[in-house]
Amino acid sequence: MKDHPKIVSVVGARPQFVKLAPLAAALKGKFRHIIVHTGQHYDDNMSGLFFRQLEIPAPDINLKIGGGSHGRMTGRMLTALEKVLQQEQPALVLVYGDTNSTLAGALAAAKLGLKVGHIEAGMRSFVADMPEEINRRLSDHISSLLFCPTSTAVANCRREGLGRKVVLSGDLMYELLHRLRPVIRDNQAWMKKWRLESGQYFLMTAHRAANVDDPDNLRRLLEIMERLPMTTILPLHPRTAARLRSSRLMTRMKKIDHLKLCEPLGYLDMLTAAYHARAVLTDSGGLQKEAVFLRTPVLTLREETEWPETLKRGNRLVGLDAGRTMRTLNHLPATKATSFTVRGKRPSEIIVSALTKEIARG
C-alpha cells in the first residue's frame, strides 16, 4: 500500500460526497487515497449521513471551515489546504464540481505545483457572476486533467483552449444512481413515514443564491409554492431557511397547507422522494439530472442549465415564473432513459485509468 501513489481528494459540500462515493471505491487498492473535508457543509444530515449511507471512508482530515462570506471561507480553506498538501505531498489532487471547496482545493494545489484533476469539469451556465460559474471556470483553467461528464462539457473546454487536458469520463452521479436504483425505489420506510403515494406529490428544493438571496425572487418562489396543485415535500436548505427568516417570509410559507416542510434529506431519502414524485421542482444542478436519470419529469427553477442534455429527457426551464410553472405541471414533459457508461466503460473506471497514466508520466 505504501508504494501506491498518493491522491488527495478535497470535498466539502453535499454534491461532492455523491461524486466521491463511486470514485473512492474505485481508487481503493490502486492509490493511497487521503480524503480532506473542508467542513463547508457540517450539519450531520448534509455531511456525516452521506458518508455513512454511501459507505465513503471517513475523512482523514476535517478542516471545519464552514459558514462566513465567500471570500473569507475560500481564503481560510486555501491557507489550511496549503498546509495539508505540503505535509502530504500527493502525486495528484482531486477536486469536485463547483463549490468554494473546489476552487480552494484547486488553487492551493496548483500554487504548490501539484497536478490537479477536476471531476465534473467543463460545466457552464454562461452566467458570469454566479458563484458556481466563477468556481468552475477558474478551477478548470488551473487543473491538469479535466474529467468532463458530457460532450457539451468537452466542447466548452475546447472553446476555452483547454482541449488537451480533457477526458470524456461520463457522470459519476449516474454511476452511483444506477447501482442504488433498486434500493431507492424500494425505500418504503420513507414513503410510509410521510404517508405518500407514488405519483401523488411533488418534490421541491431551492437554495441557489440568485433565487433565495434576493427578497423579490424569494417572494416569486413563494408564489410558486402557494399555487402548487398537489401535496409538495420541501426539504429546506439552511441558506433558504435563513433568508426566509430574515425577509420575514417564513410565517407566510408555513401557512401553505399543501406544503410539507422538512430538514434536508439524506441521499437515499432524497432520491426515493424524487423517484416516486409526480414531478420535481428544483434549482439544484445535481437533483435536476438525478430526477431525469430516474425518469421523473423535472421543472428547473432557473432560466439556464449547465446540463442541456437533460432538456431532451424530461427537464424544462421555468425560471421563477408561476404561470409557466403551472402550465408545465399541467403538461409534464416525457422522460427518456439515460445511459451512464461511455463506450461501455464506467466513469470511475475511465477516471482511474487516466489518473494512473497521468501520474506515471511524472
* C-beta nearest to ligand UD1: residue: 99
User: Would you tell me the crossing angle of helices 285-293 and 14-27 to the nearest 10 degrees?
Assistant: 60
Nearer residue to ligand UD1 within complex by CB, 306 or 346:
306
How buried is residue 138: exposed, middle or buried, by Cβ count under 10 Å (0-12/13-18/19+)? middle
Q: Contact with ligand UD1 (CB under 6 A): which of 59, 98, 287, 296?
A: 98
Nearer residue to ligand UD1 within complex by CB, 210 or 332:
210
Q: Contact with ligand UD1 (CB under 6 A): which of 66, 90, 170, 347?
A: 66
Q: Contact with ligand UD1 (CB under 6 A): which of 7, 14, 31, 150?
A: 14
Q: Contact with ligand UD1 (CB under 6 A): which of 28, 52, 67, 327?
A: 67
The distance of closest approach from Cβ of residue 137 to ligand UD1 in the complex, given in angstroms and rounded to an integer, is 13
The distance of closest approach from Cβ of residue 17 to ligand UD1 in the complex, given in angstroms and rounded to an integer, is 10
What is the three-class DSSP state of 35?
Answer: strand
Contact range with ligand UD1 by CB under 6 A, out of 237-245, 269-277, 289-297, 338-346: 237-245
Q: Contact with ligand UD1 (CB under 6 A): which of 178, 179, 181, 239?
A: 239
The distance of closest approach from Cβ of residue 343 to ligand UD1 in the complex, given in angstroms and rounded to an integer, is 30
Q: Contact letters (x/-) for ligand UD1, 99-128, by CB under 6 A? A: xx----------------------------
Nearer residue to ligand UD1 within complex by CB, 15 or 170:
15
Q: Contact letters (x/-) for ligand UD1, 204-223, by CB under 6 A? A: ---x----------------
Name the grid cell of 360: 506515471
**Catalytically annotated residue among 41, 118, 207, 276:** 207
Residue 245 is classified by DSSP as H
Q: DSSP secondary structure string, 95-112?
A: EETTSHHHHHHHHHHHHT
Nearer residue to ligand UD1 within complex by CB, 298 or 329:
298
Nearer residue to ligand UD1 within complex by CB, 284 or 296:
284
Task: Give the ranges where the chain is alpha helix by DSSP (H).
Answer: 14-27, 48-53, 70-88, 100-111, 131-142, 151-159, 172-185, 188-193, 209-212, 215-227, 238-246, 250-254, 267-276, 285-293, 322-330, 347-361
Residue appearing with cell numbers 458556481: 132
Spell out the SS3 assignment of 134-175: HHHHHHHHHCCEEEECCHHHHHHHHHCCCHHHEEECCCHHHH
Identify residue 182 by its one-letter amino acid code.
P
Identify residue 41 by its one-letter amino acid code.
H
The distance of closest approach from Cβ of residue 234 to ligand UD1 in the complex, given in angstroms and rounded to an integer, is 15
Q: Which of residues 36-65 bind ligand UD1 (CB under 6 A)?
A: 40-43, 46
Are 2 and 86 contacting, i.e. CB atoms less than 8 angstroms apart? no
The distance of closest approach from Cβ of residue 298 to ligand UD1 in the complex, given in angstroms and rounded to an integer, is 16
Q: Contact with ligand UD1 (CB under 6 A): which of 15, 22, 105, 319?
A: 15
Nearer residue to ligand UD1 within complex by CB, 66 or 319:
66
Burial string for 280-317 (b: 16+ CB within 10 Å, else e) reads bbbbbbbbbbbbbbbebbbbbbbeebbbebbeebbbbb
Nearer residue to ligand UD1 within complex by CB, 127 or 326:
127
* Residue 207 bears catalytic tag: yes
Residue 273: closest CA among 323, 263, 250, 225: 263
Using CA atoms, how far apart are residues 182 and 129, in angstroms rounded to an integer? Answer: 39
Q: Contact letters (x/-) for ligand UD1, 278-307, by CB under 6 A? A: ------x-----------------------
Using CA atoms, how far apart are residues 169 and 355, in angstroms rounded to an integer? Answer: 12
Residues that bind ligand UD1 (CB under 6 A): 13-15, 40-43, 46, 66-67, 98-100, 131-132, 207, 238-239, 242, 284
Active site residues: 207
